[in-house]
Amino acid sequence: MLSKKTKYGLKALTYLASQKNKQPVQIAEISKNENISQKFLESILLTLRKTGFLGSKKGKGGGYYLIKQPSEIPMTSVIRVLEGPIAMVPCVSLNFYEKCNDCPDEKKCAVNKLMLQIRDSNLEVYRRTTLADLL
């Protein structure tokens, strides 16, 4: 299952991407329009800022805004930041590889074989899709 964190994060990103001008948008506005708990959204936007997707402005008229163009934000990086590894098992992960301790030979492992294909097909989708494609 997709976590709510990722779901909300994606919705917030598209909300910001669909803004005509580049004025900062307040958390409260996004929260209200996308039906997201404001406090929860707060922490999500915070991680998106820390990971270089968003900029923020404090004080009156402040809020969050996209740093890059939507077409320059691939889903691979969004998913990795919000959801974690794209692979469903660590032994087929590109960025978070870990050996299974119960598995003597990865190349003979059925789970590895299957999940390698799943990873590849998911990666293909995430790589070719940018935030701009979701508007």
Partner DNA sequence: GACTACTCTATTATATCTATAGGATAGATT
Partner DNA sequence: AATCTATCCTATAGATATAATAGAGTAGTC
- Residues linked to residue 90 through DSSP beta bridges, in sequence order: none
Instruction: Determine which residue in the list 34, 49, 68, 77 makes contact with a second copy, applying CB under 8 A.
Output: 34
User: In sequence order, what are the residues at sequence separation of 6 or more whose Cβ sits closer than 8 angstroms to the Cβ of residue 37?
Assistant: 31
Distance of closest approach, residue 60 Cβ to a second copy, in angstroms: 29
Residue 115 is a binding residue for a second copy (CB under 8 A): yes
**Contact status: 97 vs DNA (CB under 7 A):** no
Greatest Cα-to-Cα distance within the chain, rounded to the nearest angstrom: 60
Residue with tokens 């915070």: 46
Query: Judged by CB, which is closer to a second copy: 57, or 128?
Result: 128
> Who's near 10: CB < 8 A, 6+ residues apart?
78, 82, 134
Binding mask 19-58 for DNA (x = CB under 7 A): -----x-xxx--------x-xx-xx-xx--xx-----xxx
Tokens of 38: 């404001």
Total number of residues that touch a second copy (CB under 8 A):
32
- Closer residue to DNA (CB): 59 or 104: 59
Q: Does 3 bind DNA (CB under 7 A)?
A: yes
Residue 22 beta carbon to DNA: minimum distance, rounded to whole angstroms:
14
Quote the CA–CA distance of 98 and 2 in Å, as a whole number.
22
Contact 89, 111 (CB under 8 A): yes
Minimum Å gap between C-beta 54 and DNA is: 8
